[in-house]
Structure 1
Amino acid sequence: MKMIYLDNAATTPLDKDVFEAMKPYFCEHYGNPESQHSLGKKAEFAVIRAREQVARALGASDNEIYFTCSATEANNWAFRGVVSLCKKPKKRIITSAIEHSSIISCVEDLVEQGVEVIQIKPDNFGVISPQSVIEALDPNTILVSIMLANNEIGTIQPIKEICQAVKKYNKDILFHTDAVQAIGALDVNARDLGADMLSISAHKFYGPKGVGALYIKNGVKIQRLIAGGNQERGQRGGTSNVPAIVGLGAAIKKAVQDRQKNSKHIRALRDYFIQKIEENISYAKLNGHRTQRLDGNVNFSFDYVKSQSVLNMLDIKGIAASAGSACTAGNFKPSYVLMAMGVPEELASSSIRFSIGKYNTIEEIDYAIEALTETIAELRKLSPLFVDIKTKKYFA
């Protein structure tokens, strides 16, 4: 049985064109980009070209792009690099309570180092308002970081407005955004957003796993995270993963070129999926903003069932989905994103995230709706709490 993959927010399949671009750098052009011979120069040129592709996609200059092994590394570098270089006796960082787990975990470490961290809660739709950020600013604030689009609920944040408000308060406060989920879905221009730093990851837009990048605006100084050689202009040591970097460049170029076509296709499937869920399944609550959300994100809570039970049954029926972020899904706890939005724990424990990608079809969505409707009905029949008060019958 072929799996229907509806977990594209966790990772995407590698695009065949991207793979073809990567292949020569595994077995033919395998030189170290730091080497001076011809094999090394071919690898160096490939890295230079990929850096140009990423810069062009983000509206940046080549020398503002730094390759990393992941967006998790990029996020950690942004936070720890700013804190390490800052000489202020008191330091405040402002972020949100619904950031990716790599940022949540990072700021927990920084708190232990004496950094004050303010985590702003969103509204009931998962939106962080510029006003809430303004109210958290103070003279000790050195960094503000709000993700561009949420990985669990798909809500898109007003990053440009938030950044403008921060810079109006104090232009020296650095602004970072995790744009991992936004590439290929939104027009992501670092300069237009006003960000000083911006993180991305290739495997979220049909590129390879194990490679990401951090945009650092010219003039912004942060401490390097990994000491070593002269790679990344001396800011990030370690031999360059040339095939992966080539894949990142090829993937982001294609993601930007095909964005409008893919978005139209994905958004139509998303809207259809949401409509059918609301028509066919009772006690289903859409999580996140109804319109201000990523094209492929469908996140619902279903009363009287548990996420893990639903996911297990869907998996048996050939459907891959998730209960939230792939980086936290294994702990079986209610989504901290939904809890921060004020969703009751029972509903937060029953949320399912379907994330649609460019390869999905209407036939797959139809099957997913049928399988989901059956699954919810089957599980609710096992719940002594779920019974129609009037008819005394179980129903979905």
Structure 2
Amino acid sequence: MALDQQSDSSRPLYLDTASAAPVRREALEAAWPYLTGVFGNPSSHHEVGHTSAEALKDARRRVAKVLGMRSTDIIFTSGGTESDNLAIIGISLGAGTGGNTGSGESANCRSPRRHIVTSALEHEAVLASVDFLVRWHGFEVTQVPVESDGMITTEALRSALREDTLLVSLGYANNEIGTVADIAALADVAHDAGAFFHTDAVQAAGWLPLSGLGVDAMSLAGHKVGAPKGIGVAAIRARIPLEPLIHGGGQESGRRSGTENVALAVAFATALELAEAEQVEAVARVQAIRDDFIAKVLASVPGAFLTGSESSRTPNHASFCFSGTSGEAVLLELERLGITASSGSACAVGSDEPSHVLTALGIDDDVAKTSVRFTFPASFAAEDGRRAAESVSAAVENLALSYS
């Protein structure tokens, strides 16, 4: 029998951390002094400003340590979208008009490399940045073919590369289907061709290793790891020529002007460190609950199928298509039962179009519109997983009864 209206004693379950994770208390507490007493501008040449500058320097160092990079590589931004834009457009306009190639060779004139490789699965911030370069700066783009589960093989990437490829931008963990790419192997292929490699690692932070990937640039967003919204990192090797997108006072070593948000930078560093420290335990526990959740949903919901890779996906991610239903209707019914989930990227809310990620996998448009994504918090417990699976089954059953 379908579940009835949730009782007052039912605790709401928030299963949309891919859109935004709860802000960690430790991050807020770390930021608080820089929102109140220690309020100086870090560029000011007095003691109050110097205190803020030291806090910013320390936050940069702490983030760099987690990423296995240098402090000079870390640029604080407003979030993942700006980080993607800065990495893709900044490197393309900086290195693509002279400077270093991905192989480390220097050039004193305009680089002949005007080709970018990406995939149809990337976040809108990546696709739009590449499109901007094509439309306004004459770059050419190749979208590397993807497997039906969202994986990208090294052979496919190698075939997409050209002698004039300047940059490869491929996501680490897909936000809609959870598929995890072998970034280290893909970066090696790009470097063999003399190209730079950027990865959007926004969905990977806290769940996957961030160091030792061999990338030239990486994008991160604070609100995915427990920092407030409005802070991100573009980690770009300092040796790479970079054209700033924001011009002004030359902050962030001249690569991103504007008064730095010290409080949120400190919050980001704190949240990222905590997520890194807790990762091994959280992954082992949440992945087991996630696997049980997937099995229960597939066994109890007729027509349901998993999207993305079965074996290579972020530990907290489960996404389905529920054929014969409406994804939005399922979400509304789940919310009635106390479960908050999503239909995919929060950046595409309001669009009537099917997910570009799912259609790139060959899923029919009508079926793609039945998609629902569940992304679990690190605090997810076994009983939460069981209740969530029962609620999914009940939601689809309730809809079937209402249609009959």
TM-score range, shorter chain: over 0.9
Aligned match of 2:43: 34
Fraction of identical pairs, as percent: 35
Contact 2:113 2:166 in 1 (8 A): no
Q: Deviations over 1:345-364 (max 9, x none)?
A: 22211110000111222232
The question of 1:100 aligning with 2:123 is answered yes
Aligned match of 1:9: 18
Supply the distance in 1 between the matched residues of 2:58 and 2:233 (Cα, whole angstroms).
14
Supply the distance in 1 between the matched residues of 2:145 and 2:316 (Cα, whole angstroms).
24
The question of 1:325 aligning with 2:349 is answered no
Please identify, of 30-39 and 58-67, the stretch whose mean Cα deviation from structure 2 is larger.
30-39
1:185 to 207, 210, 217: 207
Runs of 4+ in structure 1 displaced over 6 angstroms? Answer: none
Q: Deviations over 1:13-51 (max 9, x none)?
A: 011111111111111111111112222112111101110
Supply the distance in 2 between the matched residues of 1:89 and 1:295 (Cα, whole angstroms).
41
CA RMSD of aligned residues (A): 1.4
The 1:16/1:30 distance shift into structure 2, 3 A limit, reads same
Contact 2:163 2:193 in 1 (8 A): no
Please tell me the residue identity of whatever aligns with 1:246.
V
Contact 1:18 1:247 in 2 (8 A): yes
- State the secondary structure of the residue aligned to 2:227: coil
Q: Deviations over 1:220-251 (max 9, x none)?
A: 11111111113101211111111110101101
Q: CA deviation at 1:90?
A: 6.4
Q: CA deviation at 1:149?
A: 0.9
Supply the distance in 2 between the matched residues of 1:75 and 1:123 (Cα, whole angstroms).
24
The question of 1:119 aligning with 2:143 is answered yes
Aligned match of 1:335: 355
Contact 1:121 1:341 in 2 (8 A): no
Number of residue pairs the alignment of both structures matches: 380
Aligned match of 2:335: 315
Counting only pairs closer than 5 Å after superposition, residues 189-228 of structure 1 correspond to structure 2 as 189=211, 192-228=212-248
Supply the distance in 1 between the matched residues of 2:47 and 2:112 (Cα, whole angstroms).
50
Aligned match of 2:99: none
- State the secondary structure of the residue aligned to 1:156: coil
- State the secondary structure of the residue aligned to 2:276: helix
TM-score in terms of structure 2 length: 0.91
Supply the distance in 2 between the matched residues of 1:232 and 1:257 (Cα, whole angstroms).
27
- State the secondary structure of the residue aligned to 2:75: strand
Supply the distance in 2 between the matched residues of 1:336 and 1:269 (Cα, whole angstroms).
29
Q: CA deviation at 1:366?
A: 2.3
The 1:383/1:197 distance shift into structure 2, 3 A limit, reads same
Supply the distance in 1 between the matched residues of 2:402 and 2:141 (Cα, whole angstroms).
44
Supply the distance in 1 between the matched residues of 2:127 and 2:254 (Cα, whole angstroms).
28
Please tell me the residue identity of whatever aligns with 1:185.
W
Supply the distance in 2 between the matched residues of 1:302 and 1:371 (Cα, whole angstroms).
14
Contact 1:121 1:340 in 2 (8 A): no
- State the secondary structure of the residue aligned to 1:311: helix
Q: CA deviation at 1:78?
A: 1.2
Q: Deviations over 1:133-187 (max 9, x none)?
A: 11111122111111111111111101111111122222xx111111111111111
Which segments of 5 or more consecutive residues in structure 2 lack a partner in the other structure?
1-7, 97-109
Supply the distance in 1 between the matched residues of 2:117 and 2:250 (Cα, whole angstroms).
32
Aligned match of 1:174: 196
Q: CA deviation at 1:77?
A: 0.8
Please identify, of 338-347 and 295-304, the stretch whose mean Cα deviation from structure 2 is larger.
338-347
- State the secondary structure of the residue aligned to 2:34: helix
Supply the distance in 1 between the matched residues of 2:61 and 2:282 (Cα, whole angstroms).
23
Aligned match of 1:109: 132
1:147 to 161, 171, 192: 171
The question of 1:163 aligning with 2:187 is answered yes
Aligned match of 1:390: none
TM-score in terms of structure 1 length: 0.93
Counting only pairs closer than 5 Å after superposition, residues 246-257 of structure 1 correspond to structure 2 as 246-257=266-277
Which segments of 5 or more consecutive residues in structure 1 lack a partner in the other structure?
385-396
Q: CA deviation at 1:383?
A: 4.4
Contact 1:202 1:212 in 2 (8 A): yes
Aligned match of 1:387: none
Supply the distance in 1 between the matched residues of 2:227 and 2:90 (Cα, whole angstroms).
27
Supply the distance in 2 between the matched residues of 1:228 and 1:262 (Cα, whole angstroms).
42
